[in-house]
Amino acid sequence: MTLLANNENPLFVHGVSWMVLLIVVIQAVVVFGALMISVMLMIWFERKVISDMQSRIGPNRAGPFGIMQTLADGIKLFFKEDLQPEQADRFVFKLAPYLTIIPAFLAFAIVPLGGEVTLGGHRFYLQLANPPMGILFLLAMSAIGVYGTMLAGWASGSKYPLLGSVRASAQLISYEAAIGMTVVMVVLVTGSLTTHDIVVAQATHLWQWNVIRLAVVPFVIFFIAVIAETNRPPFDLVEAEQELVGGFVTEYSSIRFALFFLAEFMNTITMSAITVTLFFGGPDGPVPHLGGFWSHLLWIVPLLWFLGKTIAFLFAFVWLRGALPRLRYDQLMDLGWRRLIPLSLGWLLIVAGFITGGWWGTGLTAAVVVSAGLIWRAAIVGARREDTQAILTPVGRRLWRRPGGSLPQAGDEGSGDGADEVVGGLDARGGAI
């Protein structure tokens, strides 16, 4: 396949006719419906998988395997009373759920779902929209999504939602930087911003997939940042039940609550799809050679590849939720600002060096990045040395910072050599917490 010189959708090449309009409208309606249904199935899937991981049965009443549980919940939420706190800012309180759900819908529009399809003489992509700014549209939409969370917490007029929303927005802003950086790497190797070109550039060979072309690290950064961006465990500090009741949704009830929930799962699906698009070739995969009648149905195969890859990532999301404990807030910020962003910046430099200067450029940039890291590390160690007069092992340093009074004094009962002291001290500290 060759890259399209312009970003025109082949659908609009011959002008806009009623048939073209009909195709666009049908696409929009089908994508909308499919997204709604997949959200429904995703909620069920998550509950079932989590139940299996926790040795529970999970939803099993509504429909076969409880598959209609989400529908039942949705209907119930629809008919519940819609409460609004007296202290709430009425207009913003009502606005916030829509600010969350509309970007979640729109972001999915740029995902290429399949290859090309010809219908009634019109060639078009299985993709709702292919705007020239492409993947940047996703970043813009997730930037708007922040407002929904932020304003929901603020407009509730109560403390816990406000704390939740402040956490959420800080988290989103922090991890957006890492996401943007990895997206830049993909755009660099593709040479185009549109999702269609990104997918086309990865087609035909497994080693053309960006996950391999960019050597895995950007994908890992992107995936971690995406989990944080969608507020899913282990980054779900926004709605940490033990600390914040329900986070920014605490005061929401009935259908408004359902809208937030819907948007969250929709974001999960969108982000899985975007991960597949950016790093795993989107709908790319082997297509069987079939003749006759079956050749008219071959367009389904890329769609199935896309669905399979997306479901694999959705499972990974659920898996991480079942497997990992929640991070502390300082760990979250530490991971975002001090690990992911420097790493992605360094990797971006190396990728840029490779693209401009081949292996020489890579080597040079890598050397610069590594030596800068070494100098930085040395500076930190040096600064520490000034403070403590000694470079201590991690265990020793922890001993140094313990609360006063808990330090085992020399000559205490049972304290033998130094190693025992350290272990005992750590135990004491662990017990205190």
Q: Which residues bind another protein (CB under 8 A)?
A: 6-7, 15-17, 20-21, 24-25, 28-29, 86-92, 131-133, 136-137, 139-140, 142-144, 146-147, 150-151, 154-159, 161-163, 165-167, 169-170, 173, 176, 192-193, 328-330, 333-334, 384, 387-388, 399-404, 407
Q: What is the DSSP letter of 362?
A: H
Q: Which of 59, 109, 92, 395 is nearest to 270 (CA)?
A: 109
* 23, 127 contact by CB (below 8 A): no
- Count other C-beta atoms under 10 Å from residue 396's C-beta: 14
Residue closer to another protein, measured from CB, 97 or 115: 97
Residue closer to another protein, measured from CB, 252 or 305: 252
30-35: Cβ within 8 A, 24+ apart: 31/108, 31/109, 31/113, 31/128, 32/105, 35/105, 35/108, 35/266, 35/269
**Shortest Å distance, C-beta 368 to another protein:** 18
d(CA 177, CA 225): 9
**Shortest Å distance, C-beta 286 to another protein:** 32
**Shortest Å distance, C-beta 85 to another protein:** 9
Q: Which of left, alpha, beta for 277 (phi over 0: left; psi -120 to 50: alpha)?
A: alpha
**Shortest Å distance, C-beta 10 to another protein:** 16
Residue closer to another protein, measured from CB, 142 or 230: 142
Residue closer to another protein, measured from CB, 183 or 211: 183
**Shortest Å distance, C-beta 241 to another protein:** 18
The DSSP line for 173-242 is HHHHHHHHHHHHHHHHHH---SHHHHHHHT-S-GGGSHHHHTTSHHHHHHHHHHHHHTT-TTS-GGG-HH
Residue closer to another protein, measured from CB, 43 or 146: 146
**Shortest Å distance, C-beta 330 to another protein:** 4
Residue closer to another protein, measured from CB, 163 or 276: 163
